[in-house]
Amino acid sequence: MSWEPTALPSQEGRTFVVTGGTAGIGYFVAEQLAATGARVVVAARSPERTRVALDAIRERVPDAILDSVPLDLTSLSAVRAAADRILALGGIDGLVNNAGLVSAPGNRMGGRQVTVDGHELVVGTNYLGHFALTALVFPSLRPGGRVVGLGSDSTRMVRLDPADLWSERRYRAFRAYAFSKHAVQGFGLELHRRLAAAGDSRGSLLAHPGYANGALSAPRPGINDGLPFGERFVAVLIPWLAQGKDRGAWPVVRAALDPEARSGEFYGPDGLLAGRPVLAKPTRSSARPEFGAALWEQSERLAGVRFPL
């Protein structure tokens, strides 16, 4: 295989924005990109966690070129403020839309929660916030630049119901998470179709990390210590079904950097849930052009943002 995830090509002079780069897969994406000589902008919600993440990257990559932007994907006004900060940085070469929720934090009763703007919290955070951010910063994406969205194998476990994407009719936490990833994949592929139709050299790619477990990750003090018992227990019980989040970042980084990668491609591990990054296929329902077109129109309306394409 021509792509070697432990020997990445130089990206000196290029700039990448990574949302949610303070923990998990996002942290390792940011660290691996920084090691290529690229300028990496970590866009995240917590100033303290951002400081810890940047310090951890510098510990591993002493000459890292780093910057940060506050980003709260649960608020569209905060997304606009973050986009203004990113636009002020100058042109970018990649936007990695990594940040997200698996479930609503602190939601012991398991009920439906909403964003500041009234949208179901998980889809609103994982998808709609990223749609708005991508639309707002898209003019700064240089020719040949890429948008990389994080899909998930959860889309193979939960059938998409486009008529109830926001769980207004029925709510289940994992269902909402899978719907958010259906939306991420549907948007990524629709963006690819529109770029291709316009003859635009920029690209839209997708990646999924497989089953990435923090307890199997390379240790990073302040980043992945103090993991929940459940995560550590699963890592001991079935380590052959999972991989660390450092390796879970590999398909994402390949989608962002591989010169042979093409817009519209989807990368994931070569095993069922773990392995080296190779081409994969999104679920058929996410890939349907009809879903992508309807989702695009709905997203522009809900986000109050016209995508400049």
pLDDT at residue 230 greater than cutoff 70? no
Using an 8 Å Cβ cutoff, are 127 and 101 in contact?
no
What six digits make up the tokens of 291? 């879903």
In a domain, 86, yes or no: yes
pLDDT at 241: 75
pLDDT at 232: 66
Domains: count for the chain: 1
Instruction: Count other C-beta atoms under 10 Å from residue 71's C-beta.
Output: 26
Q: What pLDDT digit, counting tens, does each position of 244-271 carry? A: 999 999 999 999 999 999 999 999 999 8
Query: Percentage of the chain surpassing pLDDT 90?
Result: 86
At residue 233 the predicted structure's pLDDT band, cuts being 50, 70 and 90, is low
CA distances from 233 to 153, 212, 238, 239, 269 (A): 21, 14, 9, 10, 22
In a domain, 178, yes or no: yes
Using an 8 Å Cβ cutoff, are 115 and 100 in contact?
no
At residue 279 the predicted structure's pLDDT band, cuts being 50, 70 and 90, is very high
**What is the average per-residue pLDDT within 13-23?**
97
In a domain, 149, yes or no: yes
pLDDT at 216: 87
Kindly report the average pLDDT of the chain as a whole number: 94
Distance CA 88, CA 82 (A): 10
171 catalytically annotated: no
Q: What pLDDT digit, counting tens, does each position of 56-66 carry? A: 999 999 999 99
CA distances from 32 to 79, 217, 247 (A): 25, 14, 10
In a domain, 7, yes or no: no
Distance CA 13, CA 93 (A): 10
Using an 8 Å Cβ cutoff, are 223 and 29 in contact?
no
User: Counting Cβ atoms within 10 Å, is residue 102 exposed (0-12), middle (13-18) or buried (19+)?
Assistant: middle
Q: What is the dihedral of CA 272, 214, 216, 278, to 10 degrees?
A: 30
Distance CA 22, CA 36 (A): 18
In a domain, 9, yes or no: no
From the CA atom positions of the chain, what is the Rg in Å? 18
**CATH code for the domain in which residue 156 is found:** 3.40.50.720
In a domain, 95, yes or no: yes
pLDDT at residue 272 greater than cutoff 90? no
**Which residues constitute the domain of residue 270?**
15-301
Distance CA 103, CA 276 (A): 28
In a domain, 261, yes or no: yes
- Supply the angle between the helices 24-34 and 250-257 in degrees, to the nearest 10: 50
**What is the average per-residue pLDDT within 73-95?**
97
**Parallel, antiparallel or unpaired: strands 15-19 and 92-97:** parallel
At residue 120 the predicted structure's pLDDT band, cuts being 50, 70 and 90, is very high
pLDDT at 215: 82
In a domain, 5, yes or no: no
Helices and strands (H and E) in the chain: how many: 11, 10
Catalytic residue, from 27, 127, 177, 211: name it.
177
pLDDT at residue 1 greater than cutoff 70? no
pLDDT at 237: 59
Distance CA 266, CA 289 (A): 16
**What is the average per-residue pLDDT within 142-164?**
96
pLDDT at residue 44 greater than cutoff 70? yes
Closest by CA position to 41, among listed 3, 2, 95: 95
